[in-house]
Amino acid sequence: MRRRLYTDGRILLRVVVVWIVTAGSALLLADYLPGFHVDNPQDALGAAAAVAAINAVVWPFFMRLALGAVVLTLGLGVFVINGMLVAIVMRAVPGVTLTDPAVGAIVGTVLTAVTAFTSGLLALDDDHFYRRFIIAPAFRRKRVPVTDPPGVLFLQIDGLGYEVLRRAIRGGDAPVLARWLADGTHALRSWHTDWPSQTGASQAGILHGSNVDMPAFRWYEKESGRLLVCNRASSAAEIEARHSDGAGLLHADGAGHGNLFTGDAPHVSLTMSVAGRKKGRLGAGYYGYFANPYNAARTLFAFVAEVTREYAQAFDQRRRDVRPRVRRGGLYPFLRASASVIARDVTVQAVLEDMVAGRAVVYADFTGYDEVAHHSGIERYESLAVLRGIDRQIGRLADAVVAATRPYRIVVLSDHGQSQGPAFADQHGETLEDLVREACGLPRVTPLRRHPGSEARGRLAGVTEREGPISRALRHAAHVQIVDGEPIAGEDATRRAAAQLVGGEPVLTLASGNLGLIYLTDRPGRVSIEELQRRYPELLPTLLEHPGVGFLLAKSAGRGPVAMSRLGARYLDSGEVEGEDPLAPFGPLAADRVRRTYGFSNTADVMVNSAYDDQTEQVESFEPFVGSHGGLGGPQTEPFVLYPADLELPVDSVLGAEALHQVFRGWLSKLGHTAFS
């Protein structure tokens, strides 16, 4: 009872404050705008009441006609359109005079914005406000009476590792998920990604049950000459076409939001593989969210706050000299706010609408944590703050389940984790691409960058007196000698081969987190180590001796796939190890992961996994990130699944996204979804 009185008191106080602020704004406008007059403060209160009435009654109906303008302006069009309505109604308010239509439009827009912004500011992160203006309006609309079997909401927190989540739960950064575990309604387990550990491969496996021939987030296909990148619309569409059998995880009355692929869902929004091609009602999730101008104000406030927060936190990292760190300027603050505010809120609204419609299965991706962890670090304050926001939204969706006409079970999961460490270029003063090109005798494509410590850990450290046995054997096979510290080839194969190549770069280097891919673009099929040594005798030795490289995967003409490091090699077909096992630091699952990826048709001629420090769990990203994923090493390969306790995971670990897909299908079948039986 006391809590109810407290809540009602806050609501009443908020209403009074908004009413007074709006009335005061009307009086202020009347003093400065010719053509607009308010007789007295009482009439100003009447004008403020008219604004509130229009926002509550008229706007939701008019919104259906104005949705296009609202979507294109991310909600800012709300204030202009609603302001015009206010200006029309204001003429009927006693004591208010409007003689100029243009002035009326200005007055209406300003008063609408003041009302919405004041309400949003007073309730920026208020659960009651959220239930009233977002959840309740969604469930007032027509609902589909479906009660059996229960639906399932799969909510993905992109990039959140299992151990990071466990520490966040202990530290109070995921209170909703912590409460579910404490109450015994849910259980928490880890699962293991494939190699590569990235969203494209994981979501293809989870949603479509197949992620074969996806060796990285971006890769080159020699047969077609195409570069595929998972977050490009055309590439995502091609990838889905190759992996979809029409019976994906979401094919039976399912919905997907914020994903790379559809999972064969008939209802999708913010989905890369159908971006610009999927026909349907404009802006799934947008109507429900922007049907009330208060929501637009709330989102705008949160967006501006997030941008401001990013600038302040980036400055604080520089001030305290926090390392590792990367540059966080340019468009990134706005991309961060888009992912952690706008996309999050619209995705939540879309899931609410799915619950209203009684969808059988929903899969939604919240990308804010992944975006911020890339640039800030996987457990730094700003990343955990975004996680707290996602946790709260998940709690709000759980609250909304009780109002749905269909029971829902909630599964929270991640597609991969992230591992932290310095960027390769910051650590060594050059990118992986420049390292490769220089070793191949090709001109650099980016200027050399010098950083503290890069000289001490230069790329040719150990080539002479500390040269490792594997690179020494490779040089010997290619008839290369070290003279005065410089590699001298018996024949200038590199320059002769480069001169014969026509139609583009002979060597292509790509990066996906701490995983690098090197292709000889003029040679079909997988190029062997022996041929690599004939053409570019310094390439493999240079990579093997580099302190930023953990291991290489390549093809031996006589012995098949081989993982190599400076101090040893492992032949994957036979399991034979020479010297030190290069995969040992990456755990007992590493060999199977690497062997599987080697079998893909589009795997690079040389796969490069960065160095990994098993004491600090740090890797070196080949992209300019602090937190990264894509290769092996650290928590990036161990995501989580938090699931209803009455459902079951296999006793053994779930190995790979395809296996997780089968687990989810089994759950849907157990719950009574005959399409998955």
Residues 309 and 210: their CA atoms lie apart, in Å, by 39
Question: Residues 410, 430: one domain?
Answer: no
Strand intervals (E) in 176-295: 186-190, 218-221, 226-229, 254-257, 267-269
Instruction: Give the range among 91-95, 195-199, 273-277, 304-308 with minimum mean pLDDT.
Output: 91-95
Q: Across 218-331, where does the E strand assignment appear?
A: 218-221, 226-229, 254-257, 267-269
Residue 98 is predicted with a pLDDT of 74
Cα separation values, 34 from 37, 48, 91, 97, Å: 8, 19, 15, 10
pLDDT at position 291 is 58
Answer whether 220's CB lies under 8 Å from 621's CB: no
**What is the residue-averaged pLDDT of the chain?**
82
C-alpha–C-alpha distance, residues 271 and 64, integer Å: 23
Q: Are residues 428 and 382 in the same domain?
A: no
Closest CA to 22 of 114, 91, 89, 93: 114
Strand arrangement of the beta sheet that strand 568-571 belongs to: 507-512, 515-520, 606-610, 549-556, 560-565, 568-571, 577-579
Residue 200 lies in a domain: no
Q: What is the pLDDT of residue 652?
A: 80
Q: Which of 17, 49, 16, 43 is nearest to 30 (CA)?
A: 43
Task: Give CA–CA dist 130/123, Å, rounded.
Answer: 8
Measured CA to CA, the distance from residue 343 to residue 363 in angstroms comes to: 14
Q: Per the omega criterion (within 30 degrees of 0), is the bond before 541 cis?
A: no
Question: Who contacts 470 (Cβ-Cβ below 8 Å, separation ≥6)?
Answer: 544, 564, 565, 566, 567, 568, 569, 579
Task: Pick 571 or 475 by higher pLDDT.
Answer: 571
Give the pLDDT band (50/70/90) at residue 465. very low
Domain assignment of residue 79, given as a range: 2-122
Residues with Cβ within 8 Å of residue 273, at least 6 apart in sequence: 233, 236, 237, 239, 240, 260, 261, 262
Span 276-320, pLDDT tens digits = 665 444 455 566 566 556 666 677 778 888 999 999 999 999 999
Q: How far is residue 422 from each of residues 171, 315, 419, 453, 519, measured CA to CA in Å?
A: 25, 18, 10, 12, 25
Looking at mean pLDDT, say which of 395-404, 406-415, 480-489, 491-500 comes out highest: 406-415
For 5-32, give one letter per residue: b (16+ CB within 10 A) or e.
eeeeeeeeebeeebbebbbebbeebbee
**CA neighbor of 660 nearest in space, from 151, 156, 148, 150:** 156
Does residue 574 lie within any of the structural domains? yes
pLDDT digits (tens, 9 = 90+) for 100-148: 777 777 776 777 667 766 766 665 445 555 555 455 555 555 555 655 7
Does residue 228 sit within a domain? no
**φ and ψ of 448, to 5 deg:** -65, 130
Among residues 415, 446, 470, the one where a domain terminates is: 415
For the ranges 65-79, 227-241, 343-357, 499-513, the lowest mean pLDDT is seen at 65-79
Q: In this structure, what are the phi and psi dihedrals at residue 609, rounded to the nearest 5 degrees?
A: -100, 135
pLDDT of 86 above 60: yes
Q: Is 454 in the same domain as 370? A: no
The answer to whether residue 566 sits within a structural domain is: yes
* Coil/strand/helix, residue 229: strand
In the sheet with 151-157, reading across from the earlier edge strand, the strands are 186-190, 640-644, 408-413, 151-157, 361-366, 254-257, 267-269
CA distances from 312 to 130, 153, 301, 326, 364 (A): 27, 35, 16, 15, 30
* Residue 183: band (very low, low, confident or very high) from pLDDT cuts 50, 70, 90: very high
Query: Is it the case that residue 25 has pLDDT exceeding 80?
Result: yes
Report residue 65 as tokens. 């006609």
Residues forming beta bridges with residue 555, ordered by sequence position:
528, 561
**297 and 432 both lie in a single domain:** no
Q: How confident is the model at residue 485 (pLDDT cuts 50, 70, 90)?
A: very low
Predicted confidence at residue 463, as pLDDT, reads: 32
pLDDT range class, residue 37, cuts 50, 70, 90: confident
pTM over 0.85: no
Give the whole-angstrom CA distance, residue 672 versus residue 668. Answer: 7
Q: Do 482 and 609 share a domain, yes or no?
A: yes
Q: Which tens digit of pLDDT belongs to each residue from 166-176?
A: 999 999 999 99
Element (DSSP H or E) covering residue 631: none
Confidence of residue 487 (pLDDT cuts 50, 70, 90): very low
Q: How many CB atoms lie within 10 A of CB 670?
A: 14
Residue that is last in its domain, among 380, 415, 450: 415
Query: DSSP of 353-373, one letter per residue?
Result: HHHHHT-SEEEEEE-HHHHHH
Structurally, the chain folds into a number of domains equal to: 3
pLDDT at 184 over 70: yes
Query: How many Å apart are CA 116 and CA 79, to the nearest integer?
Result: 9
Same domain, 411 and 432: no
User: What's the pLDDT score for residue 265?
Assistant: 96
pLDDT of residue 151 exceeding 70: yes
94 to 21, 36, 44, 223, 239: CA distances (angstroms): 19, 13, 10, 76, 63
Judge if 473 and 583 occupy the same domain. Answer: yes
Do residues 350 and 470 share a domain? no
pLDDT in the model for residue 587:
94
Judged by average pLDDT, the poorest of 48-62, 207-221, 316-330, 536-550 is 48-62
Does the pLDDT at position 584 exceed 50?
Answer: yes
Burial class (CB within 10 angstroms; exposed 0-12, middle 13-18, buried 19+) of 224 = exposed
Q: Kindly indicate the confidence band of residue 490, based on its pLDDT and cuts at 50, 70 and 90.
A: very low
Give the model's pLDDT for residue 286.
Answer: 61
Residue with structure tokens 């403020």?
Answer: 48
Confidence of residue 241 (pLDDT cuts 50, 70, 90): very high
Q: Is the pLDDT of residue 189 over 90?
A: yes
Q: What is the Cβ-side half-sphere exposure of residue 185, based on CA atoms within 13 angstroms? A: 11
Has residue 69 got a pLDDT over 50?
A: yes
Q: Is residue 238 part of a domain?
A: no
* Stretch among 22-31, 424-433, 559-568 having the lowest mean pLDDT: 22-31
From 397, 404, 409, 300, select the one nearest 347 (Cα to Cα).
397
Q: 540 and 393 in one domain?
A: no
Burial track 434-467 (b if 16+ CB lie within 10 A, e otherwise): bbbbbbbbbeeeeeeeeeeebeeeebbeebeeeb
Q: In Å, what is the CA distance from 99 to each residue of 96, 104, 376, 536?
A: 10, 8, 54, 81
Report pLDDT for 281. 46
Judge whether residue 263 has pLDDT over 90: yes
Q: Which residues contact 170 (CB under 8 A, 6 or more apart)?
A: none
pLDDT at 448 (0 to 100): 43
Helices (H), 209-281: 233-243
Which residues have CB under 8 Å from 56's CB, separation 6+?
Answer: none
Length of the chain: 677
In a domain, 145, yes or no: no
Query: 323 burial class (0-12, 13-18, 19+ CB within 10 angstroms)?
Result: exposed
Region 196-202: mean pLDDT is 96
Are 551 and 444 members of one domain?
yes
Count Cβ neighbours within 10 Å for each residue of 178-196 and write b for 16 or more, e otherwise: bebbeeeebbbebbbbbbb
Same domain? 472 vs 588:
yes
pLDDT for 630-650, tens place per residue? 999 999 999 999 999 999 988
Tokens for 619, please give them.
């890797």
**Termini Cα distance of the chain:** 48
pLDDT of residue 58: 60
Residue 236 lies in a domain: no
The DSSP string of 576-614 is -EEES-TTGGG-TTHHHHHHHHHTSTT--SEEEEEPEET
For residues 121 and 75, what is the distance between their CA atoms, to the nearest angstrom? Answer: 16
Mean pLDDT of 452-470: 38
Which of 122, 137, 166 represents a domain boundary (last residue)? 122
Mean pLDDT of 579-592: 96
Asked if residue 144 belongs to a domain, the reply is: no
What pLDDT is recorded for position 181? 98
Q: CA angle at residue 568 from 562 to 573, to 5 degrees? A: 25
Q: Does residue 540 have a pLDDT over 80?
A: yes
Cβ(506)–Cβ(498) below 8 Å: yes
Q: In this structure, are 523 and 627 located in the same domain?
A: yes
